[in-house]
Structure 1
Amino acid sequence: MASIAVYSVKGGVGKTTLAANLAWCSATISRRKTLLWDLDAANGSGFLLGVDPKKKRAADSVFAEGGDPTRLIQPTAYPNLDLLPADESIRTLDRTLDRLGKKKRIAKLTEVLGKSYDRIIFDCPPVLNELSAQVIRAADVILVPLPPSPLSARAFAVVVEEVRGHGKGHPPILPILSMIDLRRSLHREAREANPNWPVIPLASAVEQCAVERKPVGAFAPRSPAARAIAQLWTAIERKLASR
């Protein structure tokens, strides 16, 4: 089992869209039993996969002592792909984790879930708190989507500082240029400055994910965006294999 966190301290960078699409790639292209764990209160991952959260369910019950996360997992329309959804109660999760006083609660739960899944992908909230710290401890690799802007560069520096603050054993960080439009000079400069970073293009097919409520590979498999995301997933698998 390997766990992948899609994380940024800045919102609006395509984090949730990337997490949902990579989970689909894991399940469909690699045919791995995959769990997408939504830790963002907006429940965007569930929406993009066409899964509506069950009513009267508290996300923080996953983390309580004796909680069984498998009871809350929901299947998706895609073989090998399940969802552990979020809801608004996750807004208070930081306080729950602090009250429990267990710094590796998410890592322990990930270990339990790893008995049933080959890949676990975290859709992380854009925050720096105990929740993000616990995800960093649980992840094998951290993906950071970065649209080409000075604010994104600052956000990336914050993520790097936070991850490296966990010591030499921290997971590798993979920056990804997202929403790239090479017709724009700022975007071309960002690409030229970071030629080895994976690129996800700015494309209508990616925007349509929220309309179709499907991963781009499910409805536009031949699009440049679908190919770019599939190539990124292949690169992630290679990185995991080299651990």
Structure 2
Amino acid sequence: MAGKKRTLPRIAGLTGGSPDTKGDPSGALGATIAIYSVKGGVGKTTFASNLAWCSAQISGHRTLLWDLDAAGGSGFLYGLEPKGTKPAHDVFAKERAPEKLIQKTGYSRIHLLPADESIRAIDARLTEIGKRRRLAKLTRALGADYARVILDCPPVINELSAQIVRAADLVIVPLPPSPLSTRAFDLVVREIAGNTRRHPPILPVLSMLDMRRTLHREVREQHPGWPAVPYASALEQCAVQHRPVGEIAPGSPAARAFANLWGAIERKLAERRG
């Protein structure tokens, strides 16, 4: 992968009010950040949930965490469950406004749009609707109230994934160090290049990195410029305690890694607008 020359899409480079009212105290322009991979079990929900916390608590952004995975992991990590019957499906069909379904979390400036089982049928519904930029229009509208919309995406290649890459300003791809992850990254690159003309940049991130393992050290040496999030028991506790790692263990390597990753994301968004 490292030896291939790519022209599409760009790989993101690295350089060194009342909290729950409308409007963003940081004054930032809105942006949509997708946490996406075609491979499951890579840490997408952990990334999305913890980056939402970083957005709100480090940058002071009013942040919406939108769970697009039927498993509902982001809601679970914040101790929330969807309300009502099949609400997520209604949002895409414009049968119910997203604002009617958004829930406050226990943290200032972080709100959640939860998933439910109806998301399993969303691909067919989007195809039926026939609007290729429905998700992009929804996130743009939400951007009037939220400086950052973070999408916790399912591991799929279908109409939903196509709409995700059209909506995103930046795509974060968690990659555990393994040959299968390298293949998954190549599939993500092709998916993005094939579904949008003005493609968003991609930021690959090594996840669950364990430098005690030979393969992990080798992959880290191959990609020294990529951000990395270590394998850590503190991250496992996020699901146990229903809290972000920045709350559980603020001084831990995992918490510092997410803070550094968030800094890279903010710089990349600023560069894109500049």
Bin of the TM-score, shorter chain as denominator length:
over 0.9
Q: Alignment partner for residue 185 of structure 1, among 214, 224, 235? A: 214
2:188 — aligned with what? 159
Which structure 2 residues correspond to residues 126-165 of structure 1 after superposition, within 5 A?
126-165=155-194
Cα distance in structure 1, aligned partners of 2:218 and 2:64: 36
Post-superposition shift, 1:49?
1.0
The alignment's C-alpha RMSD in Å is: 0.9
TM-score, normalized by length of structure 1? 0.98
Of residues 52-61 and 7-16 in structure 1, the stretch that sits farther from structure 2 once superposed is 52-61
2:26 — aligned with what? none
Cα distance in structure 2, aligned partners of 1:65 and 1:28: 31
2:236 — aligned with what? 207
Cα distance in structure 2, aligned partners of 1:25 and 1:213: 16
2:5 — aligned with what? none
Cα distance in structure 2, aligned partners of 1:129 and 1:167: 14
Cα distance in structure 2, aligned partners of 1:39 and 1:153: 24
Cα distance in structure 1, aligned partners of 2:160 and 2:72: 16
Cα distance in structure 1, aligned partners of 2:94 and 2:116: 19
2:52 — aligned with what? 23
Post-superposition shift, 1:168?
4.7
1:107 — aligned with what? 136
Q: Secondary structure at the match of 1:200?
A: strand
Q: Secondary structure at the match of 2:195?
A: coil
1:7 — aligned with what? 36
Q: Alignment partner for residue 226 of structure 1, among 250, 255, 258? A: 255
Cα distance in structure 2, aligned partners of 1:50 and 1:4: 22
Which structure 2 residues correspond to residues 69-80 of structure 1 after superposition, within 5 A?
69-80=98-109
Give the ranges of 4+ consecutive aligned residues of structure 1 lying more than 6 Å apart after TM superposition.
Answer: none
Q: Secondary structure at the match of 2:111?
A: strand
TM-score, normalized by length of structure 2? 0.87
Structure 2 residue 255 is the aligned partner of structure 1 residue 216: no
Deviations 1:135-157 (A, max 9, x none): 10000000000000111111111
Cα distance in structure 2, aligned partners of 1:66 and 1:85: 16
Post-superposition shift, 1:131?
0.3
Cα distance in structure 2, aligned partners of 1:144 and 1:53: 26
2:7 — aligned with what? none
Letter of the structure 1 residue corresponding to residue 202 of structure 2: I
Letter of the structure 2 residue corresponding to residue 82 of structure 1: H
Q: Which runs of 5+ in 2 are unaligned?
A: 1-29
Cα distance in structure 2, aligned partners of 1:162 and 1:34: 26
Which structure 2 residues correspond to residues 80-99 of structure 1 after superposition, within 5 A?
80-99=109-128
Structure 2 residue 229 is the aligned partner of structure 1 residue 194: no
Cα distance in structure 1, aligned partners of 2:187 and 2:43: 18
Post-superposition shift, 1:48?
0.5
Post-superposition shift, 1:164?
1.3
Deviations 1:158-204 (A, max 9, x none): 00111111355100010000000101100000000000000000000
Post-superposition shift, 1:224?
0.4
Post-superposition shift, 1:50?
1.3
Cα distance in structure 2, aligned partners of 1:220 and 1:52: 25
Q: Which runs of 5+ in 1 are unaligned?
A: none
1:48 — aligned with what? 77
Cα distance in structure 2, aligned partners of 1:79 and 1:65: 28
Post-superposition shift, 1:44?
0.0
Identity of aligned residues (%): 65
Post-superposition shift, 1:58?
2.4
Letter of the structure 1 residue corresponding to residue 179 of structure 2: P
2:25 — aligned with what? none
Letter of the structure 2 residue corresponding to residue 145 of structure 1: P
